[in-house]
C-alpha cells in the first residue's frame, strides 16, 4: 500500500511552494513524523514530516520545482512496493488485494488540510480484515464503513507547538457537518475555531476544555453514529539513557539550536532527554540564543519534558543563566559560573544579571479572597499577554515622547470624502489610514525605528509591516498589515478594517498576526488623551494615538497676529527602546509625522 505526500497548505494566502531540499532519497527508509523534505513559500520555510513510516518509493517533484498546494510530490510505501498511480492530488487510494488473496481491505483515512495548518496533512492508516473485499458504501453522515476520523490539534503557525482547548462547540453524540466549527482553541498567537474535517457524529472528546496539548495530538473523534473508536496508539517507552542510543524518530518540530547554545551534537548523538528538551518553540530557542542559555540545563514543564517560555524566563530570572563576558576574546580561560557572587562579575553587568538582581529576593504578596469577591481563572490569551508584556519590560529600556498634532487638515479632507469613499470602496474612512501613511513614510525616513534587536546586532527590516492593536471582549490581539508602505490610502483602510473585523470573529490566519515591525495602538477611540504603551517584542517602538477632539489653539496669521482658533487636536505618544533608538531619533520621527499630517494634500 502506497501513500501520497502532498504539498501542504502553509497559510490561506499561499497557493504554491518550492521544494528546497529532499532529506531522503528514493529507497531510503523514513519514520513517521521524521522530516522528509524542506519547502519554501513567500511566507515561511518549513520541513514536511512523513505521514507514515515506510520507504520513499518515488520523488515526483524535484528540488527547485514550484508546485501548487495539494500536488503530489512523492510516494511512500513498503520496501519493494510498486507506487500506485497518481489520482490528481486527492486522498491516496488503496489498491485492493485480489479477491482470493483473503488479506482484507486496507483503507486510508485522511484529515483534510485546514487552511491554517502549517504541516502536511496527517494520514491515519488503518487495516481492517474483512471477509468480503467489496468496499463499504458511505452512510448517511458522509463517513464510510464505520470509520472514525481523529481530530488533531492543528498547527497554527511555525512557532506554535501547543494549543489550549477554549471551548467545545459540540458535545459527544451531537451531529456535525463538514467544515462546521467543532471547537475553539487558543495559542499565544491567535484564537481560532477548528472545523470538522468530515460530516458525522462527535464520538469522543479526548482533550477537555482548559487542557493544553501539543500540536497533532488527537483531541476528539468524529465518525458515523455507532462507529467503534480506535484506541490511540500507546507512546513507546523511552529506553534507558545508559543504553546504546537507538534510532529515534525525530518530529519535524525538533530543530538544532545554535552553536552558541552548545547544541553542536548531531541528532543521532543526542539523548532522549536532549531531544525532548530541544522540542521547544522557536520563540523559546530565540530567547535561549539571546541569553546564551543551554536549553538542556532547564527542567521542562511542558509535555514530554519540553521547555516552555515560562520555564526559560523563570530560569533567567532566577540568576542561574549568566551570560559569559568577552574574556575569551582576550585570551582569558576563565569561565563565568552561575554560582559566582555578583560582586565579582566583570562590569558592566549584562542585561540578564541586572534582571536577576532586580528580582532577587522579591516574593509576590499573598492575596486572600473575601466575602463578595469573585474569582475568575485567567484565560490563555490573558496569561500570554501578561507573559509577553512582562518579558518586554524586562528586555527593553522604555522611554516615551509625546507630541501634540493638529489633525484639522486630515479632518477636513475626511469629512468631504468619507461618503464617496464608502460608496467606492465599501468600507469606512477613519483617521487611522492617514496615520498609517504618515507612519510608513516616517519609518522610511528613520529606519532605526523599524529595526529589531538580535543579541548585539541591530536588524534594519526591509519591509514595513504595521501591527494594529485590536481590543477584544476577551483580550487584545495585534493583526499585521504586511508591506503597508506599498498600499494606498484606500488599501490601508480596507486592510485595517478587514483585519479588525476578522479579529473580532476569530477568523485570522496565523501569518496575519506575525511578522510585524512596528505597532500602533489607538486608545483614543475610547476617549483617552494619550498613553505610554509597552513595546511589542522584538520591535523597538510602538505609537499610541490619543483621542482627536476640538480644542482651542493659538495660531499666527500671515500678518503676524496671534489668534485663538478651534482646531482638531490629538496627542501622539511614541514609546521606544532606548537601547537602540536615541531620543533625537524619536523626536525627529514624531516631528516628521506631525508635519506630514498637518500639511499633506491627501488624495484617495
For residue 369, pLDDT beyond 50: yes
Q: Is the per-residue pLDDT at 412 higher than 70?
A: yes
Residues 6+ apart with CB under 8 A from 21: 37, 38, 63
3-state secondary structure of 305: helix
Q: For residues 39 and 18, what is the distance between their CA atoms, to the nearest angstrom?
A: 5
**Of 174, 463, 501, 582, catalytic:** 582
Provide the 8-state DSSP code for 470. E
CA distance 54 to 76: 6
Of the segments 154-163, 314-323, 354-363, 517-526, which one has the largest average pLDDT value? 517-526
Grid coordinates belonging to 336: 563565568
Closest Cα partner for 144 from 83, 93, 78? 93
Nearest-angstrom CA–CA distance, 388 and 398: 15
- What pLDDT is recorded for position 553? 95
**Cβ neighbours of 245 (radius 10 Å):** 12
Strands of 54-104 (E only): list them.
Answer: 54-59, 66-68, 72-77
**348: preceding bond cis by omega (within 30 degrees):** yes
Candidate from 149-158, 410-419, 514-523, 547-556 with smallest mean pLDDT: 149-158
Position 188 scores a pLDDT of: 66
Is the full-model pTM beyond 0.95?
Answer: no
pLDDT at 288: 79
Q: According to the per-residue pLDDT averaged within each range, which of 303-317, 375-389, 463-477, 526-540 is highest?
A: 526-540
Cα distance between residue 15 and residue 12, in whole Å = 8
Torsion of CA 484, 485, 491, 493, to 10 degrees: 60
**DSSP code for 101:** G
Question: Alpha-carbon distance 469 to 443, whole Å?
Answer: 18
Q: Is the CB of residue 573 less than 8 Å from the CB of residue 552?
A: no
Share of the chain above pLDDT 70, in %: 69
The values of phi and psi at residue 263, to 5°, are -105, 50
Cβ atoms < 10 Å from Cβ of 327: 13
- Tell me the pLDDT tens digit for each residue of 258-286: 333 433 344 444 454 554 455 566 567 77
C-alpha cell at 326: 568577552
Residue 449 bridge partners (DSSP): none
Give the separation between CA 588 and CA 577, rounded to whole angstroms: 15
398 is catalytic: no
Across 27-36, 334-343, 415-424, 515-524, least confident range: 334-343
Question: Which position has the grid cell 508591506?
Answer: 483
80-135 pLDDT per residue, tens = 777 665 444 333 333 333 333 433 333 333 333 443 443 333 333 333 333 334 44
Neighbouring CB atoms inside 10 A of 288's CB total 28
Please state the length of the chain.
604
Distance of CA 135 to the CA centre of its chain: 42
Reference 538, options 438, 458, 439, 418; nearest CA is 458
- CA atoms within 13 A of residue 9's CA, in its CB half-sphere: 19
Tell me the CA distances in angstroms from 412 to 212, 340, 488, one per residue in order.
51, 64, 19
Average pLDDT score over residue span 134-147: 44
Q: For residue 267, which phi and psi values (nearest 5 degrees)?
A: -60, -40
Q: How far apart are CA 23 and CA 1, in angstroms?
A: 22
Which of 211, 498, 578, 585 is catalytic? The answer is 578
The CA distances from residue 172 to 33, 112, 230, in Å, are 29, 21, 16
Stretch 505-517: mean pLDDT:
87
Measured distance between the N- and C-terminal CA atoms of the chain, rounded to whole angstroms: 59
CB burial of 10-46 (b: ≥16 within 10 Å; e: otherwise) equals: bbeebeebbbeebbbeeeeebbbbbbbbbbebebbeb
Where b means 16+ CB within 10 Å and e means fewer, 367-384 reads eeeeeeeeeeeebbbebb
Q: How far is CA 321 from CA 288, 354, 586, in A?
A: 10, 12, 33
C-beta separation of 443 from 449 below 8 A: yes
Active site residue 388: no
Predicted confidence at residue 2, as pLDDT, reads 83
Nearest by Cα to 151 from 139, 161, 165: 165
Q: What is the pLDDT of residue 229?
A: 59
Q: Which residues lie below 8 Å from residue 144, measured CB to CB, with a gap of 6+? A: 107, 136, 137, 138, 224
What pLDDT band is residue 290 in, cutting at 50, 70 and 90? confident
**Cβ–Cβ under 8 Å, residues 403 and 583:** no
Amino acid at each position: 500500500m502506497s501513500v501520497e505526500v502532498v504539498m501542504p497548505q502553509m497559510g490561506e494566502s499561499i497557493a504554491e511552494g518550492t521544494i528546497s531540499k529532499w532529506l531522503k532519497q528514493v529507497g531510503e527508509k523514513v519514520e513517521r513524523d521524521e522530516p522528509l523534505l524542506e519547502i519554501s513559500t513567500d511566507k515561511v520555510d518549513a520541513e514536511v514530516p512523513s505521514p507514515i513510516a515506510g520507504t520513499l518509493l518515488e520523488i515526483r517533484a524535484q528540488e527547485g520545482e514550484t508546485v501548487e498546494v495539494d500536488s503530489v510530490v512523492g510516494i511512500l510505501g513498503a520496501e519493494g512496493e510498486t507506487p500506485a498511480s497518481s489520482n490528481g492530488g486527492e486522498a491516496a487510494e488503496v489498491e485492493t488485494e485480489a479477491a482470493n488473496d483473503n488479506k482484507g481491505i486496507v483503507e486510508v483515512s485522511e484529515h483534510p488540510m485546514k487552511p491554517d495548518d502549517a504541516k502536511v496533512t496527517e494520514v491515519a492508516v488503518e487495516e481492517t480484515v474483512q471477509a468480503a473485499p467489496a468496499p463499504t458504501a458511505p452512510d448517511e453522515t458522509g463517513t464510510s464503513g464505520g470509520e472514525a476520523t481523529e481530530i488533531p490539534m492543528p498547527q497554527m503557525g511555525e512557532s506554535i507547538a501547543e494549543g489550549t482547548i477554549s471551548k467545545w462547540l459540540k458535545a459527544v453524540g451531537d451531529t456535525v457537518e463538514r467544515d462546521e466549527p467543532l471547537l475553539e482553541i487558543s495559542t499565544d498567537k491567535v484564537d481560532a475555531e477548528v472545523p470538522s474535517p468530515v460530516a458525522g457524529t462527535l464520538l469522543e472528546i479526548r482533550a477537555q476544555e482548559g487542557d493544553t496539548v501539543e500540536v497533532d495530538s488527537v483531541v476528539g473523534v468524529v465518525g458515523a453514529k455507532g462507529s467503534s473508536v480506535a484506541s490511540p496508539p500507546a507512546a513507546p517507552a523511552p529506553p534507558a539513557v545508559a543504553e546504546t542510543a537507538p534510532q529515534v524518530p525525530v518530529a519535524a518540530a525538533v530543530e538544532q539550536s545554535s552553536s552558541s547554545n552548545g547544541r553542536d551534537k548531531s541528532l543521532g548523538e543526542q539523548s532522549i532527554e536532549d531531544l525532548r528538551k530541544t522540542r521547544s518553540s522557536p520563540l523559546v530557542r530565540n530567547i535561549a540564543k539571546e541569553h546564551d542559555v543551554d536549553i538542556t540545563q532547564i527542567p521542562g514543564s511542558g509535555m514530554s519534558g519540553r521547555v516552555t517560555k515560562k520555564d526559560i524566563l523563570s530560569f533567567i530570572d532566577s540568576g542561574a543563566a549568566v551570560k559569559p563576558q568577552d574574556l575569551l576574546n582576550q585570551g582569558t580561560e576563565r569561565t563565568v559560573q552561575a554560582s559566582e557572587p555578583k560582586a565579582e562579575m566583570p562590569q558592566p553587568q549584562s542585561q540578564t544579571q541586572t534582571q536577576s538582581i532586580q528580582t532577587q529576593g522579591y516574593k509576590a504578596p499573598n492575596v486572600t479572597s473575601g466575602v463578595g469577591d469573585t474569582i475568575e481563572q485567567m484565560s490563555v490569551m490573558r496569561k500570554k499577554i501578561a507573559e509577553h508584556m512582562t518579558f518586554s519590560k524586562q528586555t527593553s529600556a522604555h522611554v516615551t515622547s509625546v507630541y501634540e498634532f493638529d489633525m484639522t487638515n486630515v479632518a477636513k479632507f475626511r469629512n468631504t470624502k468619507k461618503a464617496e469613499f464608502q460608496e467606492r470602496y465599501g468600507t469606512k474612512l477613519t483617521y487611522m489610514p492617514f496615520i498609517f501613511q504618515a507612519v510608513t513614510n516616517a519609518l522610511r525616513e528613520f529606519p532605526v525605528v523599524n529595526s529589531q534587536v538580535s543579541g548585539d546586532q541591530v536588524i534594519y527590516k526591509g519591509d514595513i509591516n504595521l501591527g494594529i492593536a485590536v481590543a477584544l471582549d476577551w483580550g487584545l490581539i495585534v493583526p499585521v498589515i504586511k508591506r503597508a508602505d506599498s498600499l494606498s490610502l484606500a488599501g490601508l483602510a480596507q486592510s485595517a478594517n478587514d483585519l479588525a473585523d476578522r479579529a473580532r470573529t476569530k477568523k485570522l490566519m496565523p501569518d496575519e498576526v506575525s511578522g510585524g515591525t512596528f505597532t500602533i495602538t489607538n486608545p483614543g477611540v475610547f476617549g483617552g488623551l494619550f498613553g505610554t504603551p509597552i513595546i511589542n517584542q522584538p520591535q523597538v517602538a510602538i505609537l499610541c494615538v490619543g483621542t482627536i477632539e476640538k480644542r482651542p489653539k493659538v495660531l499666527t496669521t500671515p500678518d503676524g497676529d496671534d489668534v485663538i482658533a478651534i482646531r482638531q487636536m490629538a496627542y501622539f505618544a511614541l514609546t521606544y527602546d532606548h537601547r537602540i533608538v536615541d531620543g533625537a531619533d524619536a523626536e525627529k520621527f514624531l516631528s516628521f509625522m506631525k508635519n506630514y499630517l498637518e500639511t499633506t494634500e491627501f488624495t484617495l
